[in-house]
Structure 1
């Protein structure tokens, strides 16, 4: 452990009795594809009995009409987030009939691009914008990529802890929003340096059904397994490979998260800069909207990244304007595969580990990332995605070639001290859940077979199963379990009420529209180009606090 990290952890341990860590807040967004009883993507609309996907706060869809997305409230205890997420699944299964929720990140059996139906959010301008945005994704990347599912993990630190860190850094004169934003960007930079570890530990998509590649072109990294399955022998996460959420056009953006202003300005440039290939596809052709615009990004959400700085936006703001005006509020981890062996796709052990990992990323020194290092980080992530369980794999670290077991073991040694720090605060959770999570996951560093990707591949090979058959069997087991389990009565009543109120809210939004969609879109992008700077000097404050970290 570096001297600076040792010092800051020791000083924070002395403050642990003041209970400044128990306010860590977490939320989960979990996607899951609806499928029929044969393991094909569902062709049915999003069930109306689950509420309006435009306005329901907890049950919506991501890209496809079949891609459910569950959103939990923010909780201080991982167990509470898990309980809410479980009840969302139980409630859904009371209304899905014979349909199932697919447990894997890579999709069920598809029947070409058109089998992935674009979600319909109604006739309001905001609903139309959401659908046209998804049409644009289809035009640019095809729909099949949009049938991939994952878990997003949202985390924020309490103000009391930020104030403590600011004091320990000797930055009391720095505006708290500026300080918080700069330190969050320091966390993100360290996350980018070490996210390969999460891809190794939690990647769970080494296989895919052949229907995912409808053109029949099989990349060299894949080999046949049975009649319908393709596998990558040492892959951890095909979802995060060039088969999944990768975009060659976006690679030119070179966002390495060195500062809030750089991040916001790069995104603003991308949503206002035309791209010739997208211009050639057309925007509004004979009255049919094919995409929102022909720029590098239609909107900011189109930028794919394994982590994002976030701030809850007001009704008249884009995400970057909210960040610009009031700073970073929380971070969103986006590189997590669904764990097909967990009924909810994630468990409390994973959440506790992520808390330790993110706190370590925050507390460790985090210098800015030059372009050449940014490229090396991308290379390391790609190696782990494609060959993470290969015993011969080596990653580049400070000019050296290191194995995952060697480098990962060094990281785990530092994580153990941070886990001890988090476990000292028993105001929210008793025991040592963070240390326990590390102990449970540590053996995976030496034995890749213990990782979810290793377990899934071993199941396919030992049983001679096809990918779809294995996932379908797990989906049926999990559905039976969730259907049989009781719901929290108060939560069940809440979900039933939200079905009614969300449909009414959608009707109200549609009735309130008073301008054409074209005018609405024009006003939206005019506002999106406006800076929303806070009254203080955000950049100067961020630079100062960033240097301190």
Structure 2
């Protein structure tokens, strides 16, 4: 043991972060399992950072954030439990690890999002593998990590040749191996789930009658190196298990559904980034902290764990770090599990011998561990724990068993639950903490709604594809049409139904439209010419291939408002609106359009509102009124804040590509209105950020119905170009009656999502007609 390092660096012994997780059952005032759902007043359990549920809907789980001191973590847990008690009217928190009488157990409900459904299916799998009653056992998880300065100094002190992160991984794994060897001591000293039928039991929760999997014990995942750990865990996650094949609902029938199912008294962890699994996080960045799971709830303490217990855990982990930790064979790991089971079931038995690696007195081995811990320069009162080894009747399990035998399990549990509730509520909750927790409730509900909204649109497993393609894929899968992504970047998929195969690019580029139709639709000037020949109304205009030519023609447009746009691009790219008698803006618009294409179009601006008609196979599937990017003032927030709020609207899914922005173009439009991003518009004022109405620049698509005459015009326009799938953009001054109109553009490869999921209005089935056309 590097006592010299510890003596020289005492301050580093406090260079850590810690966190506490506590589980509990919500029970009625009679001590029976609550049948109420998780209260909405506590937020959404899937997205709340501190208040969640574990296996059951009635099984609360509290999580503290990473804290720099133990008192900070303990105080946070105390406050979040106080807050929770004020929200669960008439209910109590069960103080024992082992559950109350269980009648109707409801698997935790996480909502309709992909993430929520996956969490629920995972729990169905646990139910099928281990039984739901086992999953309702509660406990404490203690998360702990040494800070970077601690590791850097120890790395230099030991003159290790390993890279720093590899050194950290090795040390954390050494702690885990020693914990597996000697962590049974924690079960003896602090175990608090005895069983009247087993007079010497310390912790049924930590025995093979509690959180235990014979399958996993047979495998004994290695902690000898990070490479071995990852390889073993990956194997269990990917290897089918015959015994699990017939479970009706689960993520898969593998030995483990995922890494979270790995039941170990202590686990290496890393914080996953967005889109990562916990295992991927460890593989990419190494071990960041340890999760100690072998802790029963202390029924005599309101928080379920005492400060003294936390300090002892810290001391014990330091002991495990500085004690030699040779590799463990898998057979040795299985043998050590037998030690743990023996202590959990018979730990208080007089002269108990542990069998691994050789028969050894529990009392003598325990005293040896405590003596080794004394060398760590911490002020943990070890004398109390030493007395427990001498007198088993002083252990929490013995004290609790005596109470249960005298008064009954249910009565003791109910009495303690009421006592803890009173004590917790007597301690005031600061207004600052109360406000922060209320804000977190609101944030979690909004985030959960956002996930559910996204899940209505995004197709699980295909989220990286653009939205219109996902809409088509989702409908195809429902119709039992085979889907294969040939090129994700190119949005190219293959659909197969029976012997028929169709290739689709970007959702609406299909074999049903000819190659020449595509080119005609992409050329705005030719499109206008062909529409004009069919007697359809289009704006007057002219195309240009040279900047000077366009600039010299300014006198033709000086007295009217015009639109300047690239000849072939879509999605509103390079489009500018130029007011009359503004040569400077005209020049900027021309130059901007030429940056997007080799030729441009200048045409007369047509007054009215813009509508997109989606035509598929001779039928108008939907009409969307397109409103330029805008926000509506509330008299309180700045335009910048309103933009953020609209982009974050949980009831409407915005792809990042369709977000509202406050770039140069938007600031220019604001300036025209004598506004800036910092302006606070009056309540109800509509502030436009763009002139063009493209959804790709933040515009809204509102599903509407218009006068029947315009449907006929849209079909005539599409037929004139020979297109099967087309987006017809029309300006209508009077959409509800037959009147003037102007077709400003026909779009090859029109987006589907603005009709399938409009900002407001009726969602339209766009994929059904498209699949009907294809097959």
- Alignment partners' CA distance in 1, 2:186 and 2:426: 33
Pairwise mapping of residues 208-219 of structure 1 onto structure 2 (< 5 A)? none
CA contact (8 A) 1:30 1:70 kept: yes
The residue number in structure 1 matching 2:458 is 515
TM-superposition CA deviations, 1:484-539 (whole Å, max 9, x none): 22112211111111111110011111112333447679x9xxxxxxxxxxxxxxxx
**Are the counterparts in 1 of residues 193 and 203 from structure 2 also a CA contact under 8 Å?**
yes
Q: Deviations over 1:235-273 (max 9, x none)?
A: 011111222111122223211411111111111111111
Task: Determine the C-alpha separation between the residues in 2 that align with 1:345 and 1:304.
Answer: 21
The 5-angstrom pairing of residues 534-549 of structure 1 reads none
CA distance in 1, matches of 2:463, 2:190: 42
Within the candidate set 94, 107, 124, 1:102 is matched to 94
> Normalized per residue, which structure has more helix?
1
Look up the SS of the partner of 1:31 in the other structure: strand
Contact 1:125 1:520 in 2 (8 A): no
Query: 1:21–1:158: 8 Å Cα contact kept in structure 2?
Result: no
Distance 1:404 1:520 in 2: 55
What whole-Å deviation, never above 9, does each CA across 1:338-363 have from its counterpart, x for those lacking one?
00001000011011100110011011
Distance 1:141 1:376, change over 3 A: closer
Task: Tell me, yes or no, if structure 1 residue 506 matches structure 2 residue 454.
Answer: no
Q: Is the 8 A contact 1:110 1:116 kept in 2?
A: yes
Q: Does 1:447 align with 2:439?
A: no
- Give the conservation status (yes or no) of the 8 Å contact 1:41–1:108: yes
Residues 156-211 of structure 1 show CA distances to partners (whole Å, capped at 9, x for unaligned) of: 0011111121122221x42111110011001100010001101101110013xxxx
CA deviation vs aligned residue, 1:116-149 (integer Å, no higher than 9, x gap): 1100101110011001111111111221111100
- Identify the residue that residue 265 of structure 1 maps to in structure 2: 231
Counting matched residue pairs gives: 464
Structure 2 counterpart of 1:303: 262
For 1:240 and 1:353, how far apart are their aligned partners in 2? 18
The Cα offsets for residues 409-449 of structure 1, whole Å up to 9 and x where unpaired, read as 1111110111x2xx4xxxxxxxx3x2x2x233221111111
* Residue 363 (str. 1) matches residue 322 (str. 2): yes
Residue 28 of structure 1 aligns to a residue whose secondary structure is strand
Task: Tell me how far 1:397 sits from its aligned partner.
Answer: 5.2
Shift of 1:36: 0.9
Q: Any unmatched runs of 5+ in structure 1?
A: 208-229, 283-289, 424-431, 524-549
* Maintained 8 Å contact 1:184/1:328: yes
**Partner Cα distance (1:376, 1:110) in 2:** 33
Residue 479 (str. 1) matches residue 438 (str. 2): no
> CA contact under 8 A between 2:43 and 2:445: conserved in structure 1?
yes
Q: Aligned residue for 1:11? A: 5
User: Match for 2:81 among 64, 76, 89?
Assistant: 89
Partner of 2:659: none
Which residue of 2 is the match for residue 287 of structure 1?
none
Deviations 1:95-128 (A, max 9, x none): 11111000000001112xxx11100101110011
Match of 1:54 among 46, 51, 64: 46
Give the aligned partner of residue 118 of structure 2: 129
Aligned residue for 2:402? Answer: 458
Picking from 14, 33, 37, the partner of 1:41 is 33
1:31 aligns with 2:36: no
SS at match of 1:32: strand
Mapping of 1:88-167 within 5 angstroms?
Answer: 88-111=80-103, 115-167=104-156
Contact map agreement 1:56 1:499 (CA 8 A) in 2: yes
The answer for the alignment partner of 1:488 in structure 2 is 430
What does residue 540 of structure 1 align with? none
Which of residues 178, 181, 185 is equivalent to 1:193? Answer: 181
Taking the aligned partners of 1:231 and 1:89, their CA distance within structure 2 comes to 33
Name the CA distance, whole Å, in 1 between partners of 2:96 and 2:55: 16
8 Å CA contact 1:314, 1:322 repeated in 2: yes
Give the match for residue 395 of structure 1. 354
CA RMSD after TM alignment: 1.7
Q: Is the 8 A contact 1:107 1:148 kept in 2?
A: yes
In 2, Cα distance between equivalents of 1:481 and 1:69: 20
User: Paired residue for 2:281, among 319, 322, 330?
Assistant: 322
Shift of 1:302: 0.8
Partner-residue secondary structure (3-state), 1:333: strand
**1:52-81, CA deviations, whole angstroms, 9 ceiling, x for partnerless residues?**
101110000011001100000111221111
140-149 vs 368-377, which moves further = 368-377
Deviates more, 1:496-505 or 1:372-381: 372-381
Cα offset, 1:371, TM superposition: 2.7
Note if contact 1:145-1:244 (Cα within 8 Å) is conserved in structure 2: yes
- Structure 1 residue 372, shift from structure 2 partner: 3.0
Structure 2 equivalent of residue 212 of structure 1: none
Structure 2 residue 204 is the aligned partner of structure 1 residue 238: yes
* CA distance in 2 between partners of 1:396 and 1:444 (Å): 21
Query: Are 1:247 and 2:213 counterparts?
Result: yes
Answer 1 or 2: which has greater strand percent: 2
Other structure's SS at 2:428 match: coil
Q: What is aligned with 1:203? A: 191
Q: For 2:85 and 2:357, locate their aligned partners in 1 and report how far apart those are by CA, in whole Å.
A: 50
TM-score normalised by the chain length of structure 2: 0.59
**8 A contact 2:336–2:356 mirrored in 1:** no
Do the aligned residues in 1 keep the contact of 2:339 with 2:356 (CA within 8 Å)?
no
Query: 1:478 & 1:328 partners in 2: Cα distance?
Result: 36
* In the alignment, structure 1 residue 336 sits paired with structure 2 residue 299: no
